[in-house]
Amino acid sequence: MSELAIRRGAAPALAVEGLSYAYPHAAARALEDVSLEVAPGEFVLLAGRSASGKSTLLKASCGLVPHFHGGEIEGEVRVADLDAVATGPGELAAAVGYLAQDPETQVVSTTVAAEIELPLEMRGDAPTDRARAVEEVALALAIPHLLDRATDTLSGGELQRVALAAALVTRPRLILLDEPTSQLDPVAGDELIWLLRRLNEEWGVAVLLAEHRLERCLAAADRVVAMEEGIVGFDGAPADFLLWSREKDPALTTPAARLFSLAGLMPLPVGVRDAKQTLRGTGIAHPPHQASRRVRDPRPQAPVLQAKGVWVELDQGEETKDVLRGIDLQLRPGDRVALMGRNGAGKSTFLRTAAGLHQPVAGKIAVDSIALLSQNPGDYLVRERVGDELPGEQGMAALRAVGLEHAIDADPRDLSGGERQRLALAIALAGRMEGKQLPGVVALDEPTRGMDRARKDDLVALIERLAASVDCLSHSETKATRGTAVVVATHDVEFASEFAERVVLLGDGVVIADGPMEEILSGGWYFATEVARVLDLPGVVTPEQGAAALRGEAG
């Protein structure tokens, strides 16, 4: 009998029975007759598209639903034998920890030590017990060096770890995480997932993790629960989930599983190690080396963005920091460029400098014209009617460019997340278009945060349309004079492999790599797609390319 099976015999960390829930004034229920159990020490991955009910299930499991959000609830939720429907989140805090997507609103103290200590203080623990618990959780999460820091000086990754420490310090039996890696770079995201796995194994804490980027965490999970429009669509082992998603919802499948499906290989791998083992077993662990495609469109046009030795210094309270250190970069019409790098590498600062929000202290940056969509599209929306945001012919032209002309009378709040993002882009474009001609550069800063695969595919299509010189304004086949250069700052390696033809990798304010997408995203470990990590072939980054390589070997 496996250890997990033995643990399953104990009282579950979470037991949900016949749970249905509707938010106040909502037309439809967010959850419909959901039943599931999480055993003590189990690591469960919660998969599903946007608005499928993942976040609501997590909030119901920690008492925020219905105690904080109101609404109508039916069914039973028990957390470590406490009735979560009858008991408030405060009482549940000792048994369950919760970590939401945005770490900024999850810290309430000025210093890290005070933040981690707060739940213990609220519980009335003795000072010596508090000191020891804070020290232990800080060591477990590798953040003892942060204890004396002010919380508002931390990076996103550090803040997420501090919030996790505050959720874990009471040693809860269950920890709930709602897309904790969505704002983290691949390095910090991988670190967080494996940290959770280690805590799960060493501390025995059960984990219920909602994520969109499944390739990042599937290998760490014991079980997968997939939500579909408020109901549980699948509940089983990760390998079985891949078979289910291939049939029922391919948008949920991982790149490695898609690679195997296309190549006709079985079983579908839950992670890189599984995939490599299967390939070794079939004798095709090392497909022949293929030279990377270095075919570059010569594009004789003049650059639309030219940065030469750009240094940018930012004031960070008590000190200033050189965030960009001598950046040289050129973009030409029609370029599709992914700007990648760790949190704090300077990606956003570069885009903001190009858009004129920062002035270089040295060097020059010349831009034809640029429309920048920042990380929070909601910040652009200040009126209650789309047509009021974008009046006149220039506004209508911008709406047509993003395919939103039908929504002119809608309230921006009634649009879907993807439509709101396109509306914000239209606001940035409005007036920067010369007739049907888009601006020289369209820049998007982390546009895929919290997006599911289907919405990412829509965004890829939009980027390709903007860059491909197709006349967006009339949706006709008429060609415009040139495409726009699209530059996207992103942590999402798989998304970059879908849209980009070139990747610029920044490290601590300098360009550390700049080349064709296939070359850059197959030449490392962290900034590499799952397929590239499985096959380790130069130039092979997407499931389609990988499958072609494998079929060539098999043939």
- H helices of 430-529, where? 453-467, 493-499, 517-520
Site for another protein in 367-426 (CB under 8 A): 371-374, 376, 379-383, 388-392, 394-395, 397-398
- Nearer CB in complex with another protein: 125/508: 125
Amino acid at 107: V
Of 130, 212, 325, 453, the one binding another protein (CB under 8 A) is: 130
- H helices of 406-492, where? 417-429, 453-467
Site for another protein in 333-372 (CB under 8 A): 352, 355-357, 371-372
- Is residue 235 within 8 A of residue 36, CB to CB? The reply is yes
36-44, 272-280, 309-317, 507-515 -> range binding another protein (CB under 8 A): 309-317
What is the nearest approach in angstroms of another protein to the Cβ of residue 522?
34
Does 98 bind another protein (CB under 8 A)? Our answer is: yes
What is the nearest approach in angstroms of another protein to the Cβ of residue 462?
17
- Going by C-alpha positions, the residue among 327, 432, 453 that lies closest to residue 372 is 432
- Nearer CB in complex with another protein: 12/119: 119
What is the nearest approach in angstroms of another protein to the Cβ of residue 70?
12
- Nearer CB in complex with another protein: 111/290: 111
Q: What is the DSSP string of 187-224?
A: HHHHHHHHHHHHHHHHH--EEEEE-S-GGGTGGG-SEE
With the CA atoms of 158, 162, 163 and 166 taken in that order, what torsion angle do they form, in degrees rounded to the nearest 10? 170
Q: Report residue 228: phi and psi, to 5°.
A: -135, 110
Three-state secondary structure call for residue 493: helix
83-91, 191-199, 215-223, 545-553 -> range binding another protein (CB under 8 A): 83-91
What is the nearest approach in angstroms of another protein to the Cβ of residue 135?
12
Does 306 bind another protein (CB under 8 A)? Our answer is: no
Whose tokens are 């499985």? That residue is: 534
23-31, 40-48, 120-128, 323-331 -> range binding another protein (CB under 8 A): 120-128
- Nearer CB in complex with another protein: 128/474: 128
**CA 372 to CA 531: how far, in whole Å?**
31
Of 4, 82, 118, 510, the one binding another protein (CB under 8 A) is: 118
DSSP-based helix, strand, coil % in the chain, nearest 5 = 40, 25, 40
Site for another protein in 132-191 (CB under 8 A): 148-150, 152-153, 166-167
**Cis status, amide bond into 12, omega within 30 of 0:** no
DSSP state of 409: T
Site for another protein in 5-64 (CB under 8 A): 62, 64
- Nearer CB in complex with another protein: 101/448: 101
Q: For another protein, how many residues bind (rule: CB under 8 A)?
A: 77
Query: How many CA atoms lie less than 13 Å away from 467 in the CB half-sphere?
Result: 23
DSSP state of 268: P
Site for another protein in 502-541 (CB under 8 A): none
What is the nearest approach in angstroms of another protein to the Cβ of residue 400?
12
Chain centroid, CA 104 distance in Å: 16
Of 131, 454, 468, 480, the one binding another protein (CB under 8 A) is: 131
Whose tokens are 């990377």? That residue is: 292
- Nearer CB in complex with another protein: 102/553: 102
